[in-house]
Each structure stands twice: as C-alpha cells, then as structure tokens.
Amino acid sequence: MIKITQLLAAAALALSASVQSVSADTSISLFTEQYPPYSMTTTGQPFAHRGEDIDGLCPSIMKELFKRAGVDYQMRLRNWSYGQQRVQRRKDHGLFCAVRTAEREPMYQWVGPVTEMKGALFAKPGSKIELKSLEDARRYRIGGYKGDYYADHLIKRGFNVNVAPSDTENPKRLQLGTIDLWISDALAGPYLAADLTDMGPIKNVLVYSVNPVYLAINPETDPKIVNKLQATLDAMRSSGELAAIEQSYGM
C-alpha cells in the first residue's frame, strides 16, 4: 500500500511541475508608459516595442522579476490609456506600474507593491502659487492626462482638471500658461519638464499623497503565474534587491 506521505510528495511534485510548465508555455505581454525615471525609452522615441529599448525603475524591476520567476514576457511602451485597454481585454497581458484603487481592484490580478509614487502639484519657475493643502488648489486650472490615477482622483473630487491625451503635453502647457498647475509624480515631473521644455526647474508646490504601485495583470491569466511572480517579488524585497534598484534611481 502506498503511504500517505508518498501520495503527498507525488502531489507536491505534480503541482510544481504544473506551475513550471505553465510558466514555460505562457508569455506575458507587458505594457508601460513614458514616465521617467519610472519608465522611459532608450532611443528617444515616444514608443518602444522591445524590452531592450525600455529602461527605468519599473522596467528594471520587472525584467529582474520575470527572469528570476522564469516567466517569459514581451515589453512595450505605449500611451497609458492604450495599455490599460489592451490589458483589460486580453489574457496574459499586464500593465505597470499602476496605482491599486477600489475601482481598479476587480479589473486585474495584482502583483506588488513594486515601488511607490508620490502625487505632487507643480507650478512653473517663479510662480507665486503657494499651497498649504490640496484644497487650496481648487481655484487653479490643473493639467493631467487621460487614464492617470492622480487626474482621475482630482476630477472625482470636483477639481478643475484639464486632461490631455498624454502627460508629455503638460509641461509645455504649464510653460505657456494654459494651466496653472500640473499634477504629476514628485520624482517624474522634474524629469519630464527638463526633457520637454527649456523653462528651468519647475516648482513643487505640494506633495499630497504616497501611493504603492503594482503590476496589474488581466484577470483571465493563470493565477499560478501571478502567484509565482508575487512570491518572487516578495523574495526580492526580503533580500534587499528591490531597495538596491530603487536607490540606483535616487529613491
């Protein structure tokens, strides 16, 4: 008679083989956006269709994560709204780095936190705007972009947010004075403004939120893959690897 321990061992071996085979046979299509230093192209182009042409804090973490988990992937950089629509409709697709909200929760499976972002409001150099709280920004025209968590959050709260198709338009709008404030990430905003305008260092008038960000995966994707990625990310955090990558990008 086969012993119970032998049966359990055989079951565990079968489960391990199953997870490995799923990972080997499945490739995840990853999408991100132009949002330096979190994600950016290495070619100077607005879009990229190969992982080797994409750099930044979040892609660096994703590349190491998928390598260590043994999960195949392709990585593309497109507009955020395009990536969202694609991932929501297609199995084995993922989007990073995304803020996890109650509204988005049922739309994806989640792996993370990967890192964190800080919501900030920026004014152009020399601006006299001073904010003691987020409520003080209600009197101003605020620039955001389509599909962005920060813009959507302020719109729902009744702020005067003018949404552009892409965040790359907002530094120029701030410089021209068509918006008074620009909502962006505390780390990413100065990078983008310096790259796209010649107005000099922008003025950070308020940091008002800190948000963990995640890899958001289509809900029809095999949960075994998602669990394997989460376990691998947890191990990277425990070993200090995530902190080391963050420090290399000035966090």
H-helix or E-strand containing 153?
helix 149-156
- Crossing angle of helices 223-239 and 57-69, rounded to 10°: 110
pLDDT confidence of 213, banded at 50, 70, 90?
very high
Q: Cβ-count burial of 61 within 10 angstroms (0-12 exposed, 13-18 middle, 19+ buried)?
A: buried
In a domain, 198, yes or no: yes
- Residue 146 shares a structural domain with residue 100: no
In a domain, 97, yes or no: yes
Find the mean pLDDT for residues 185-193: 91
* Domain carrying residue 149: 118-210
pLDDT confidence of 138, banded at 50, 70, 90?
very high
- Residue 84 shares a structural domain with residue 99: yes
Find the mean pLDDT for residues 17-34: 72
- Residue 172 shares a structural domain with residue 204: yes
Rounded to two decimals, what is the model's pTM? 0.75
Contacts of 73-76 spanning 24+ positions with Cβ under 8 A: 73/27, 73/28, 73/29, 73/30, 74/27, 74/28, 74/29, 74/30, 75/30, 75/31, 75/32, 75/50, 75/51, 76/29, 76/30, 76/31, 76/32, 76/47, 76/48, 76/49, 76/50
Q: What pLDDT sits at residue 24? A: 59
CATH of the domain at 130: 3.40.190.10
Query: How many domains, in total, are found in the chain?
Result: 2
- Is 205 a residue whose pLDDT tops 70? yes
pLDDT confidence of 21, banded at 50, 70, 90?
very low
Q: What pLDDT sits at residue 11? A: 38
Q: What's the mean per-residue pLDDT of the chain?
A: 90
- Residue 231 shares a structural domain with residue 112: yes
Amino acid letter, 4:
I
- Residue 197 shares a structural domain with residue 221: no
Find the mean pLDDT for residues 104-111: 97
Find the mean pLDDT for residues 148-155: 92
Find the mean pLDDT for residues 109-118: 96
